Amino acid sequence: QMKLVESGGGLVQAGGSLRLSCTTSKDISSINKMNWYRQAPGKQRELVAGRTYNGITNVADSVKGRFTISRDDGGNTVYLQMNGLKPEDTGVYYCNAHGLDSQWNEYDFWGQGTQVTVSS
């Protein structure tokens, strides 16, 4: 199975920045779409940002202008640059890989998550 490992979370004051990293066990160019989700305690998991293999990106309205998703040209790492962090950004951030396998079945793989805590 594909493996995804997130890193870069931590404790930061409001207005600060963090960069999350997700390293995959295969080239991102071989994955249809990479996504970042987050989940706050007692809240539904939400899509924060996504990037297709061919470079189409999207971010949630709540983070527009503050968060940017990008990839390492080396091929196996996707980043989430988070600027102007707010307390409401607090949560566990998960990396997700979505695509099709060799039998044309859809797949979803998830990392274990990295905690982001923003203090006021």
Residue 4 pLDDT grade (very low, low, confident, very high; cuts 50, 70, 90): very high
pLDDT in tens, 27-62: 777 788 999 999 998 999 999 999 998 899 999 999
Q: Please write down the HEC assignment for all residues of 17-32.
A: CEEEEEEECCCHHHCC
Q: Output the pLDDT for position 93.
A: 98
E strand map for the chain: 4-7, 10-13, 18-24, 33-39, 46-52, 57-59, 67-71, 77-82, 91-100, 106-110, 114-119
Q: Output the pLDDT for position 53.
A: 87
Q: How many CB atoms lie within 10 A of CB 76?
A: 16
Q: How far is Cα of residue 1 from the mean position of the Cα atoms in its chain? A: 19
Backbone angles phi, psi at 70, to 5 degrees: -150, 175
Q: Output the pLDDT for position 73.
A: 77
pLDDT in tens, 75-116: 789 999 999 999 999 999 999 999 888 888 899 999 999 999
Residue 10 pLDDT grade (very low, low, confident, very high; cuts 50, 70, 90): very high
